[in-house]
Amino acid sequence: MRKIIHVDMDQFFAAVEQLDHPELKDKSIAVGHDAERGVVSTASYEARRFGVHSAQSIQVAKRLCPQLIIVEPHFQRYKEVSAQLHAIFHDYTDLIEPISLDEAFLDVTENKPGIELGVDIAREIKQRIKDTTGLTASAGVSYCKFLAKIASDWRKPDGLTVVHPDKALDFIAQLRVEKIWGVGQKTAEKMHMMGIFTGADLRQMSLSRLQQEFGKMGQVFHDFALGIDNRPVISEWERKSVSCERTFEKDISKQADVTIHLYHTVLELVQRIKKSEFEGRTLTLKVKFQDFQQITRSITVDHVLRTKEAILPLAKQLMHQVDFSSHPIRLIGLGVSNQKDTPQDHQRWIQLELDFEPWSVNNPQNKSLL
């Protein structure tokens, strides 16, 4: 049986800022750029009590929490702490799949110290993170990535939860379908019309019906409802694309402004391509308008795109296809993709939330090889 751990740092960016600046401890803070279109990267738990959350507009966050302190992000510092975390992880296994700076999957089925129980490894990792960085982490332990991720989210902050294989079906049965990976708003609405509201309801549906209604995702939903997730922990990812985008303080609609911003976006993209040594042949333009409508345009060529001279004419060609004369632009993005011999994309995780009681590590009945 596999032993998978998902480690997720608690309020990572905000926690680092509070650690480095003791005067911010126990204060409502949000990490982000304090501007008209600034976005919250991470909010402290004190701020979250007022409804402040990541990906929220800074302006909305300040209205919800008038005493909110906005802290500019220090990404180099976050990367340094992340490197400390991974050094700890590597003491237990080299099968580590980073999801972001502050979370990762670990396959500890065969681990370096030879510790039998995955939960003991998770507990040890949490303590070492605390001793090394001064920060807390939450961890989930199960036999697959799907359930380990869910478990790590439940008892935040500083939580440790096990989903035992013997209890997995009961655990999943109570899930609202909205909380299952891959189920967005429209899919949830469609499931509701089919009478599917929980994991238990989903389990009652035949595979053929799910595939008929949801295509390839029907197999995924069917497997998750049965507690099946055989995806491996992948320690190395092959980059599929390089991209960058610019959100403007004020919307732009003049041709001169668009040309200037497009030029600078190309320069930034070229720098990122050079740094990553990426070789792609498809250029994609993303434009988001004032009303948040978004369009993309792409073009593929028979040569590698890596220089300003190669990319800028194509970017202008794509932008010529966009009518912004009466539709102001708030964001421009450019990306290069389509490497030769690119392997199949791996599925990524999104944040999941639960509203029911899972199987806690504190319950002795749940202690086993996990």
Catalytic positions are 103
Q: CA nearest 85: which of 6, 18, 152?
A: 6
CB 329 within 8 A of CB 288: yes
Spatial distance between the Cα atoms of 323 and 193, rounded to a whole number of angstroms: 38
Edge to edge, the sheet with strand 29-31 lists 42-43, 29-31, 69-71
Q: CA nearest 260: which of 154, 188, 164, 332?
A: 332
Spatial distance between the Cα atoms of 47 and 53, rounded to a whole number of angstroms: 8
Please name the helix (run of DSSP H) or strand (run of DSSP E) that holds residue 266, with its range, or none: helix 255-276
Spatial distance between the Cα atoms of 66 and 59, rounded to a whole number of angstroms: 10
CB 303 within 8 A of CB 281: yes
CB 295 within 8 A of CB 287: yes
Spatial distance between the Cα atoms of 121 and 361, rounded to a whole number of angstroms: 13
Distance of CA 129 to the CA centre of its chain: 21
Distance of CA 7 to the CA centre of its chain: 13
What are the φ/ψ torsions at residue 245 (nearest 5 degrees)? Answer: -150, 160
The angle subtended at Cα 158 by Cα 153 and Cα 161, nearest 5°, is 50
Residue tagged 């996990």 (tokens): 370
Spatial distance between the Cα atoms of 358 and 174, rounded to a whole number of angstroms: 9
The angle subtended at Cα 264 by Cα 260 and Cα 268, nearest 5°, is 170
Cα end-to-end span (Å), the chain: 9
CB 149 within 8 A of CB 104: no
